Structure 1
């Protein structure tokens, strides 16, 4: 699955004899039986086991406020970094597509058909109050998340039919069938909660009382809307595990909140915080042309990775009648001039995205052949014919800003869809409805410079677009309830797509508030193709099924594709030590997870700044 952080949970508890089943106990399990690190390994290759502990790192968070430290419910805005207090049964390596190694669980076992999975907890695993983590805690977590947690848990684990306590430190999950090969691994990602802490408390409510966890950090202090500080747990039970060596190096992690990304950039340059993942190309090209970078006080890093970049785009909400016609959606794509934006706004940093699985072998290209074509033939006549006859390419221009030919294509498509111009407005010939719509943007004014030229181009077609920047809390509420015409969003992808695809594309997810089917896709064929991806029996079959799904999504014109970048752009004050290598399946924005404070660099930095 590559880089996945899916936190899920819920069902029933039954105590049975452990002797009721048997399978080989393993230190790790993988999607397709290709485990890199053998039992007894010392540390991940991309971590420095000799990294010193100590010091502080200061980071930024974008938004106006937070109101909860419980990241597992639909309600509230979660404090940045809150998940660091919690742990799961397994943890994933970042230099393999999808292999899970024991964390709270010492060993994992499952049969060849993957119809169930069992986890055996480490005897030393304990909560921050010193009490042991038990199998009852695991089943309690599952039940609680399914019953009171975010709606995605009930959806994501619909195929789990039974959760059983086998003994004090052993738990078993049984599935409806063994077709979903990923589910056994996904079960290891459940966040484990302490039963004794939550009894008598309402899990569904927001809370600024930091919940009890078992992880390497816990909340030290906070000012709502301003900052939150986490402290390293000095007697953290798992500090010497191989999967943790070289990580969790800072004594304190502080997040300061900024309402505006531009303000955050200026604050960074003034050393208000230490590290910034830069996702704005203009900032990368121009904002850091300062003496501190030239003199080496600030490091400007481009970290290459092989993480699937997925699909970022302008997302249509198909729940709105105006966007139900694919001809309309295709036409509007001709109004977005990526090539001009890349040249004039992005300093030619980006590549246009032409796949929902970009930057990976899972991306479709050319025309379908072989097994991929065989999968799609079943649906010929029910899916767009272009799936078989054309390789998808988002509309292109020469970058001059003159897009007359593209707009002519849009007009042709809109006429086919039944639209005409009346009084300089585009309206439907039969219903009289216009095609005006609103784009909502989360917090960042930087998106205005991208959206406003798009708005201007569409106005030439007689379409009025309103652009509204709203704060994080309001944005989350509107997105969770699908109260929008269009948003800008990302459908992140890993090297091993699985259950999360149901949350993106399935008909069930389209009806469920809080899901990530932002588009509102409700299509039987896409449901079937998505389930085929989830049930893929081998890596080769997974690639073919994913490419087939990709083609059908692309030719549905559900989004107007944006762009992607194959490196992580990071600026950081020169006070840290860094490992010699970076994991290829880490997206890079949290590279600091494996950094540490270098006291010599810290001293030199302070001396140079004083000069």
Structure 2
């Protein structure tokens, strides 16, 4: 399925896993970084890999040629972006549908390294000084920083941006800025960010990656979803030609001010990046077969297994390749919307989960690919297993009266079915759970004490989901749930998701290698449950969950972070707010054989559009020069 990401930062694919961070020496947060001294980078745990005089990241090809067009279907996105259409060019507000990769047009104070789990290095800022109380950060901005119209990018623009995003930005931006007290332009090249002390020590790692917007542009133009005037940016790309809802091109800026910075060398190699928008997956695949699309990740197992037999593939012009996925905490699951009264009892949510026959679905729809997901933080050390450790119990026991008993036993897992498509044992258990929750059978349906049915409607935006979820719906109907699927267009889907107007909805997300309280609040905290556009799709509002998120934020080393994350995972699974579905171990990539890419893929990100390059020799061999 398509993958969303929770991080709409400039390098929002720069994610990683704690499991890959064993080479780092645990210690206090920023312990290796002194206060009162200007430093070139920040890392939550351990020393920075790259020294102040580094010339480039190890995972790039500094000799990569520049030029050519990369026409691709982005596999992930954030904020208000959608892969199906766009009606605004403002990617930073709660409403509207914006095109993917608009973040490529904006620079930030710092950017992540893709071969470290939590390190950021200076981009617009050449360094940062931490105050003695660690609540203030003073950034020294590079005087050569420029917007695309040649005007200077100053601390005033940066201060304006942080205030604007806090007050009016999409929740992906506004929530992490909750505890920002002030953003001050001390002078043209000095910015101070002042926090209240209620932020976590790792909040800054997120905030420094937020886009710096032009104060002049957004003073003259509205900061809302009506904006179709290409915004003034400052990064390696700017908006070129576009057709609303159909396609957009990002053109490389030849005199980009930051071309030779260490954090940019060997990246942003394509002269033009073009993104097409398709309402129908089949149409997108046909465009790829013809060479109108040059790169795509394949999320449909049937297509990957049976339909790569077209002439361009059999002749060797198109390549299928599986790249290892990042060992990133990830979640692909179905949200059960507890804002609806019928889903507030966890026994109802469990009954719905028991109706999903993953084994049958894997065999009949997935051609044996995909593994069953059990965790909200799959593919990471944060995945709870077995019974709680003593360290986890120390966090859970004070919350005993606020937690389901299952949180104290074996980590809750979705049981394996018999693969028949209608496992009578599991459906019988589901029916019993509904009865215990007060839903009694009356004819074809279960009803409550007022005679009302139990409606459960999947909201989807693609025919593929209708096919995959139809057997699930049939099983729900078999136990008396008034289940259905509603297929809507992309604009309606985006609106209904952001306003929580659904019963059941599925999504896939990736988390940071070193999750912060800010990251998790967007998904699981009571505060985000009523904020339109947040990722808290089930409407979780639990003081116990809030307390565990606070424990994550308070973690002083990677061990305590892992303990807190496992405790959180354990509770989320016991509550059944999300029904885990499946995950894939690799990126199933297909592309026309006209590109070069680094031999070693970085562990914590896969931004193909940034790291790959156009290879004229390969292109000539397949007639694409």
Q: TM class by shorter-chain length?
A: over 0.9
1:495 aligns with 2:513: yes
Distance 1:22 1:426, change over 3 A: closer
Partner-residue secondary structure (3-state), 1:540: helix
Match of 2:29 in 1: none
Q: Give the TM-score normalised by the residue count of structure 1.
A: 0.93
Deviations 1:108-160 (A, max 9, x none): 12146532212111121111111111111111111222233224443321111
| Map 1:256-275 → 2, pairs under 5 A | 256-275=276-295
Alignment equivalent of 1:342, drawn from 355, 358, 362 = 362
Structure-2-length-normalised TM-score? 0.91
Whether 2:58 is the aligned partner of 1:40: answer no
Deviation at 1:328, TM superposition (A): 0.7
- Report the equivalent of 1:558: 577
Q: What is the match of residue 253 of structure 1?
A: 273
Match of 2:565 among 540, 546, 552: 546
Query: Does the residue aligned with 1:380 lie in a helix, a strand or coil?
Result: helix
Match in the other structure for 1:396: 416
Distance 1:37 1:272 in 2: 39
Alignment root-mean-square deviation, CA? 1.9
1:484 to 496, 499, 502: 502
Give matches, 1:191-590, under 5 Å: 191-428=211-448, 430-442=449-461, 444-498=462-516, 499-586=518-605, 588=606, 590=607
1:534, CA displacement in angstroms?
1.9
Change (3 A) 1:152 1:545: same
> Compared with structure 1, are the counterparts of its residues 366 and 250 closer, same or farther at alpha carbon in structure 2 (3 Å cutoff)?
same
Measured at CA, do residues 154 and 591 of structure 1 come closer, stay the same or move farther in structure 2, by a change above 3 Å? closer
Deviation at 1:92, TM superposition (A): 0.5
* Conserved 8 A contact 1:440-1:486: yes
**Does the aligned pair in 2 maintain the 1:311–1:490 contact within 8 Å?**
yes
Name the structure 2 match of 1:11. none
**Aligned counterparts, 1:59-98, within 5 A:** 59-60=72-73, 64-98=84-118
Output the CA distance in 1 between the equivalents of 2:602 and 2:227.
35
Of 588, 591, 594, the match for 2:608: 591
Structure 1 position 431, deviation (Å): 2.4
Task: Find the residue that maps to 1:199 and give its secondary structure.
Answer: helix
Q: 1:5 and 1:402 mapped to 2: Cα distance?
A: 38
Q: Measure how far apart 1:265 and its partner are.
A: 1.1
Matched, 1:27 2:44: no
Does residue 57 (structure 1) correspond to residue 70 (structure 2)? The answer is yes
CA shift for structure 1 position 539:
1.1
SS across alignment from 2:299:
coil
> SS of the residue aligned with 1:284?
helix
Aligned match of 1:602: 619
Between the aligned partners of 1:585 and 1:153, the Cα distance in structure 2 is 22
Output one character per residue of 1:278-324: Cα deviation in whole Å (capped at 9) or x when no partner.
11222211121334334321111111133324221121000000000
Q: Distance in 2 between matches of 1:85 and 1:494?
A: 22
Q: Is the 8 A contact 1:109 1:119 kept in 2?
A: yes
1:470-521 CA-to-partner distances (Å, cap 9, x unmatched) read: 1111111111111111111224222111111011111111111111111101
**SS of alignment partner, residue 378 of structure 1:** helix
2: CA distance between counterparts of 1:347 and 1:197? 50
Residue 179 of structure 1: CA displacement?
Answer: 5.8
1:77-122 CA deviation, whole Å, 9 max, x = no partner? 1123222111111110111111111111111121465322121111
How far apart, in 2, do the equivalents of 1:570 and 1:205 lie?
Answer: 33
Cα deviation, 1:541-599, whole Å, max 9, x if unaligned, reads: 1100010011110000112210111211100000011111111111x3x3242111111
Decide which moves more: 287-296 or 516-525.
287-296
Distance 1:419 1:51 in 2: 63
How many residue pairs align between the two structures? 590
Distance in structure 2 (CA, Å) of the matches to 1:474 and 1:41: 47
1:362 Cα offset (Å): 1.1
Local SS of the residue matching 2:250: strand
Distance in 1 (alpha carbons) for counterparts of 2:64 and 2:519:
35
SS in structure 1 at match of 2:269: coil
Q: Answer whether contact 2:325 2:585 (CA < 8 A) is retained.
A: yes
Equivalent residues of 1:114, 1:184 under 8 A apart? no
The 2-side partners of 1:402 and 1:466 are apart by 17
The alignment partner of 1:360 has SS state of coil
Unmatched tracts of structure 2, length 5 or more:
11-33, 75-81
Residue 326 of structure 1 contacts residue 557 of structure 1 at CA under 8 Å; is this kept in 2?
yes
Residue equivalent to 1:166? 186
1:148-173 Cα shifts (integer Å, max 9, x gaps) = 32244433211111222222211111
Give the match's secondary structure for 1:606. coil
